[in-house]
Amino acid sequence: MSTGTQAPGDTAAADAAPVAGPNWWRDEASEPIRRNLGLVGVLAALIVIGAVTRPDLYGDPAWVRNNIFTILMQASAIGVVTVGMTFVIIGGGIDLSVGAIMALAGVWATTQATQSFGAGGMIFAALTVGLAVGLINGVLISYGRLVPFIATLAMLVAARGLAAKISGKQTQVSSNLDINSIATDRILGVPVLVIILGLVVAAGWVLLNRTTFGRRTVAVGGNPEAARLAGINVRLHTLRLYALSGLCCGIAAIMLTSQATSAQAAMANLYELDAIAAAIIGGTLLSGGRGTIIGALFGVVVFSTITNLFAINGLTTEDQNMVKGGIIVAAVLVQQFRLKSVTQFLSRTRANT
């Protein structure tokens, strides 16, 4: 019937959509980079505020160097948890149980029985407990089809309950000097805790950006149906994401235990909220599919810099929490503004020119 050989009319119309020319870097692909620059700006502003309010301290280079490590050490355990959290959120989920998993892993690693196996036994116990609880979360969500919010909320309650039962509501002191020295030792002048944070962040970056695991994470969170129809095993991958988050909690549990030289059922309280907040202000989309590890790291560092700023000015944690709340709201508002208004504005002006 309408079979013919003549060329179709003008196919140029097909390309009426905004053409990504030399300005492709202005496109969303580079959005994370620009947002990270924004966080660097926030960090710089916080340092300026610090320098203005306490010129005596900031005038001393030795104090400043030391303070940087203080801030990073404070960020270390929560930073490790945030890396795992970022993967879960990019993959379209949420993990409310991270603080509880840390408490359970910390308590399990510091029972007298575990401590008798030495530092290796304690680390093994913490990592295994973290991984196991993460796997349970993953199975409930992937194969039990529970909503992530509900499954991990239930785990939050249950894991802290188990931690309290194991510890008999007592603080368990770590008498293992190798474990305790993690928080105090330095290698080439850099605290071991900061090195661990650096290694986890580096590993997280490689995993997200340079591996098939990372690609699956983005696909599963960005469009689960498209991922499924492209032959990706969405359920298995979701399970792995929660296991990864659990493993990060196990690592963080050891770090926090060494800092406190003890563990108890109430440790790492509200870490889930700090980790989620850090990931979000770092540019991770709560609905999944987008986010960066570096942004999440910046998010954690911004929070611990604020804590530091309040501490050196002798202000209370109550004030600090109010400011933190404000920063979370402001960061999300800025993100929405960026994503919707600016891109629309740009595409409009580009279309008009």
Partner 1 sequence: MTPPEPAGVVLRLDGIVKTFPGVRALDGVGLEVAAGEVHCLLGQNGAGKSTLIKVLSGVYRPDEGTVEWLGQEVSFSNPQAAMRAGIATIYQELDLVDDLSIAENIVLGHEPRRLGFVRRAATARAARTILGRLGHPELPAWRPVRALPAAGKQVVSMGRALSREARLIIMDEPSAVLAHDEVANLFRIIRELTAQGIAVIYISHRLEEIREIGDRVTVLKDGRTTAANLPARTTPTRELVSRMTGRTIEYVFPDRVESPTGEPLLRVDGLSRDGEFTDVSLTVAAGEIVGIAGLVGSGRSELLETIFGARRPDRGEVTMAGRRLPAGSVPAAVRAGLGMAPEERKTQALLLHEPIYRNITLATFARYATVGITRPGSEREAAERVAMLLDLRPRDVRPTVRTLSGGNQQKVVVGRWLVGERTRLLLLDEPTRGVDVGARAELYQVIRGLAARGVGILLVSSEVPEVLGLADRVLVMREGRVIHEAPAGSIDEHAVLDLIMAGSLMEEAAS
Binding site for partner 1 (CB under 8 A): 1-21, 24, 27-29, 206, 210-215, 218-219, 222-223, 225-233, 289-290
- Closest to partner 1 by CB, 244 vs 256, is 244
**What stretch of H or E contains 173?**
strand 172-173
**In angstroms, what is the minimal distance from the CB of 25 to partner 1?**
9
**In angstroms, what is the minimal distance from the CB of 2 to partner 1?**
4
| Unique residue bearing structure tokens 């994503």 | 339
84, 249 Cβ separation under 8 angstroms: yes
DSSP string, 34-76: HHHHHHHHHHHHHHHHHHHH-HHHHT-HHHHHHHHHHHHHHHH
- Closest to partner 1 by CB, 31 vs 272, is 31
**In angstroms, what is the minimal distance from the CB of 223 to partner 1?**
5
The whole-angstrom separation of Cα 106 and Cα 171 is 11
36, 299 Cβ separation under 8 angstroms: no
- Closest to partner 1 by CB, 9 vs 189, is 9
| Unique residue bearing structure tokens 């910046």 | 298
**In angstroms, what is the minimal distance from the CB of 170 to partner 1?**
43
| Unique residue bearing structure tokens 């983005």 | 218
- Closest to partner 1 by CB, 54 vs 228, is 228
**In angstroms, what is the minimal distance from the CB of 225 to partner 1?**
5
Question: CA 64 → CA 41, 47, 309, 318, distances in Å?
Answer: 19, 10, 12, 25
- Closest to partner 1 by CB, 112 vs 352, is 352
**In angstroms, what is the minimal distance from the CB of 18 to partner 1?**
6
- Closest to partner 1 by CB, 43 vs 232, is 232
Give the residue among 146, 142, 157, 182 at the shortest CA–CA distance from 99. Answer: 157
